[in-house]
Amino acid sequence: MAHEKEVVNYHTGEVDLVNDKFVQLYVDKLDLIIEMTGENPTAVKVFVWLLQHMDKRNALVVSQEALAEAMGLHRTTIFRCTNYLKEKKAVDIVKSGSTNIYAVNAQIAWKSDASGKRYALFDAAVYIADSEQDKPLFDTQLIGHAKAKTPKKSSKLKAE
């Protein structure tokens, strides 16, 4: 699987080859990640999950319940892990009602080019869980939409 993709520059019409689906880790912060791995390996798993799902502005909107469900952990474990990550300044947590917005420290890891760092926290991917909803959700086909575990059925996605 290639990690690069071609993107058309709409101003010039030229095709650029750019990196896709990657996270940059800064070498001077690897010692912090090693330290956290020794102190709280579950928190590092949560950190890596956040890296995997955050948007290109290092943010992800996800409740602790949805995060716990996605990772197969108890909500109390998620609470402790995210507080640990906040204490280590690996993430910042902003509230939106009862939902959290997790922002990964852009001086540790970054998912886009350096020019976008100044826009961190202004945009976020949203990860929701069916179990948190008052009524069944319509089929959104959103990336990161958690669905209850059910036996796999063969199905094809509809192209829009």
- Per residue in 125-147, pLDDT (tens digit) is 666 666 666 555 444 444 454 55
Q: What is the mean pLDDT of the chain?
A: 77
Q: What is the pLDDT of residue 55?
A: 84
Q: What is the pLDDT of residue 58?
A: 85
Tell me: pLDDT of 118 over 70: no
Structural domains for the chain? 22-132 (1.10.10.10)
Tens digits of residue pLDDT in 25-49: 999 999 999 999 999 999 999 999 9
Alpha-carbon span 27 to 82, nearest angstrom: 23
In contact, 54 and 111? CB cutoff 8 Å: yes
Please tell me which residue, 5 or 136, carries the higher pLDDT value. Answer: 5
pTM assigned to the model: 0.68
Q: What is the pLDDT of residue 20?
A: 63
Tens digits of residue pLDDT in 54-110: 888 888 888 899 999 999 999 999 999 999 999 999 998 887 767 888 989 988 988
Q: What is the pLDDT of residue 155?
A: 47
E-assigned strand segments in 12-68: 15-19, 24-25, 59-62
Q: What is the pLDDT of residue 149?
A: 52
Q: What is the pLDDT of residue 77?
A: 98
Q: What is the pLDDT of residue 122?
A: 45
In contact, 32 and 105? CB cutoff 8 Å: no
Instruction: Please report which confidence band the pLDDT of residue 14 belongs to, taking 50, 70 and 90 as the band edges.
Output: confident
Residues in the chain: 160
Q: What is the pLDDT of residue 136?
A: 53
Sheet of 91-96, strand order = 91-96, 99-104, 59-62, 125-127
